[in-house]
Amino acid sequence: MVTDRPIVVAGAGAIGCFVGGMLAVPGRRVALLVRPRVKTEIERSGLRLTDFDGAETRLGAGQLALSEDASIFHSAGIVLVTVKSADTADIADQIAQHAPQDAVIVSLQNGVGNVAVLRERLGGRRVLAGMVPFNVIAMGDGRFHRSTSGDIHVGEDEANTAAALSVPGLAMRASRDIAGVQWGKLIINLNNALSALSDLPLAAQLADRDWRRLFADQMAEGLTVLKSAGITPVSSTPIPASWTPALLRLPDVIFNAILGRTMKIDPEARSSMWQDLKLGRKTEIDYLQGAVIALAEQNKVGVPLMRRIVALIKEAEAEGNGPPRLTPQQIRGAT
């Protein structure tokens, strides 16, 4: 059975190390395909997993298999893909070369197009879409900190892969409409760019009504595009996606009360796009806002604010000076 074989995390960065580590805590056999820097960190310091609620777990380097070589896929039962979207085709080719034909491939990536790329390059292998709702920050010295709440969703299948992967502290839920769930997450992830441009922690940004109004206006553009394309996003919280723009525009006291009941956010939580700008890396803007803009073009829907935000992120990438610390008014600019 594939569940009796190791779980291999393909491209273990912040999300991959946290998820892989949590799976290893109860004794699951886990292997991480990692970059040299991360491998050295974990070999030296072990893996330290911390959480927004104060929980902390430590694993010794010997409790995980670590490798920079894709041959680590050779005995995988399940492969969790956590690379950036731009690297999906390359990791798919490595999986195709090294992993057993019956290994189950689960994409735990941002965006909505990665599963199609994996399926195209992996032939008839079983590929499932997934959605990770929480953020993880790489803190250095082998520490990975989960800064927001939520359960992972995985596409429903006959083998109930979601249940097989679920462990204490890391729940995975099977979803019948995983495409809708992914679009729901993408709509929320539109805020990643605003977080990156502001240089504010997520909690501080969401506590400011001007920033929330900007997020609401961008989200409203996205929801109009999805409606024109016949796509219904599924929210990962009790609040339907269609209600979210109106809730974001509410006064601070009311909004904060509602947010506190639906999601836990660490005061220092940051978006992955903020981390990318901070480290001078290319962001996933083309796979988030870019995916919505592509749909907008197909359906002849205007998205001026979203286009403005993409241009500002690209400018920040090119300048390489980190998050530019813009105000909501500066971001609105020519829109």
What would the pLDDT profile of 252-287 be if each residue is shown by its tens digit?
989 888 876 777 888 889 999 999 999 999 999 999
**Are residues 80 and 129 located together in one domain of the fold?**
yes
For residue 293, the 8-state DSSP code is: H
Q: Domain of 8: which CATH number?
A: 3.40.50.720
Percentage of the chain beyond pLDDT 90 is: 87
> Quick one: 121 and 75 in the same domain?
yes
A 10 A CB-CB count for 60 gives 11
- Say how many domains are in the chain: 2
Q: What is the pLDDT of residues 208-230, one digit of tens each?
A: 999 999 999 999 999 999 999 99
Confidence category of residue 124, pLDDT binned at 50, 70, 90:
confident
Question: Residue 305 maps to which CATH number?
Answer: 1.10.1040.10
pLDDT, position 235: 87
The single residue listed with the structure tokens 């809730």 is 247
Q: How far apart are CA 239 and CA 66, in angstroms?
A: 40
How far apart CA 21 and CA 136 sit, in angstroms, is: 12
Last residue of a domain, one of 176, 196, 214: 176
Q: Of 130, 151, 176, which residue is a domain's last?
A: 176
* C-alpha Rg value of the chain to the nearest Å: 19
Q: CA 47 to CA 45: how far, in whole Å?
A: 7
The C-alpha atoms of residue 247 and residue 333 are separated, in whole angstroms, by: 24
Both tokens assigned to 271:
């978006």
100-113: pLDDT as tens digits: 999 999 999 999 99
DSSP-derived secondary structure for 201-240: -HHHHHT-HHHHHHHHHHHHHHHHHHHHTT-----SSSS-
Mean pLDDT of the chain: 94
Q: Same domain, yes or no, for 118 and 216?
A: no
Q: So what's the pLDDT on residue 1? A: 52
Domain co-membership, 282 together with 312: yes
Same domain, 217 and 163: no
| 172 and 198 together in one domain | no
